[in-house]
Amino acid sequence: MSRSRSSSTPRSARLGVAALTAVALALALAGCGDVGHAAIPVAAKVNANEISVHQLDSLVAQRPGVPTEQLEQARRETLDLLVGQELAAQMALKSRLDRAPEVVASLNAARREILARSYQASLVADLPPPSDARVRQYYAAHPLLFARRRVYALREIAMPVKDAPVAALGKVARAAPMEKIEAWLRSQQVAYAATASTRPAEQILPAVLDALDGLRPGQTAVVETEQGVFVVRLVAARDEPLDQIAAAPPIRRLLAEQNAREVVTRDMRQLKEKARIEYANEFVGSGNHGQAIAVAQAETPAPAGFDFGARSRR
């Protein structure tokens, strides 16, 4: 049975990463112009430079789930990190490290990314939320995630697509115990990973979930996906359906993300068509490999990418 594990990274270290990123991006934007000093509340002054309350609270806001009673402590921890980083940044400027080619390149890249993200975020800021009709339609189209949702106990063997002898594996996996399948893979010198877990439908790849729907306990399927090849044995399953009311919030989030990606992708395509873009010889054709979308850095979530909350985790 799989267990969810909390990150072993100390809280102060995670804060440090977030704060360091913010400081780097703030430095990158410094070339955008003077924003003035009109009544900006100051959290701390480090030598001649100020750290604003707005900057501090923006970083604290990036830490979801901070209890109200711990908010003040979180602000103090974040401010302490910002003070240390401001001192380091001042020393970097004093040492003229900002003139080093690699630093200049990093600052320019950070500034460009911030501006691109800001523009793309503005494209989707006022998009209407998904309609109730679309939510109902999505619910009906994915019964394995909702009306027929189940929690599965599984044994799995996963391997890269390029290494998997799929046809032969299908014959071996039909009746053999998982241990014999693993032994056969080792004899074929195929790299693999074996796991045992209990997971709800939304945490399972769509292709694997479809295959599980046709299995009885004790049966095995070999499923080839873009992510890899999986030998999946169904140990047991129990019904835990979700009605439309419970499923509506995650469906709305997914549809909203899809809408945003579509809007940004369409706009970026139009901008590229209108722009004059010249590639050096070795990069000719680079523009045909898809759009670089800053807003949608993560992979497009599959229908099984929901998070229904703690009640769904086992």
pLDDT at 218: 93
Residue-wise pLDDT tens for the chain (314 aa)? 444 444 444 444 444 444 444 444 444 444 444 444 556 899 999 999 999 999 999 899 888 888 888 999 999 999 999 999 999 999 999 999 999 999 999 999 999 999 999 999 999 999 999 999 999 999 999 999 999 999 999 999 999 888 778 888 888 887 789 999 999 999 988 899 999 999 999 999 999 999 999 899 999 999 999 888 999 999 999 999 999 999 999 999 999 999 999 999 999 999 999 999 888 888 887 765 444 444 433 333 344 445 554 333 33
pLDDT at 208: 96
Name the one residue in this structure whose structure tokens are 């401001």.
86
Amino acid in the structure at residue 264? V
pLDDT at 232: 95
Q: Which fold has domain 150-239?
A: Chitinase A; domain 3 (3.10.50)
pLDDT at 21: 47
Contact yes or no for 204/152 (Cβ under 8 A): yes
pLDDT at 298: 37
- Helix or strand holding residue 121 (H, E): helix 101-124
Number of C-alpha atoms within 13 angstroms, CB side, residue 164?
A: 24
Contact yes or no for 29/72 (Cβ under 8 A): no
pLDDT at 293: 42
Q: What is the pTM of this model?
A: 0.65
| C-beta pairs of 168-177 under 8 Å, 24+ apart in sequence | 169/222, 169/229, 169/231, 170/222, 173/220, 173/222, 173/231, 174/220
Q: Which residues have C-beta within 8 Å of that of residue 206, sequence separation ≥ 6?
A: 302, 303, 304
What is residue 132's three-state secondary structure? Answer: helix
Distance CA 225, CA 211 (A): 12
Show the tokens assigned to 60. Answer: 């604290």
Distance CA 81, CA 109 (A): 23
Residue 284: exposed, middle, or buried by beta-carbon count in 10 A (0-12, 13-18, 19+)? exposed
Name the one residue in this structure whose structure tokens are 């209890």.
67
pLDDT at 64: 80
Domain boundaries along the sequence of the chain = 11-30+40-113, 127-146+243-277+288-314, 150-239
Residue 41: exposed, middle, or buried by beta-carbon count in 10 A (0-12, 13-18, 19+)? exposed
pLDDT at 157: 94
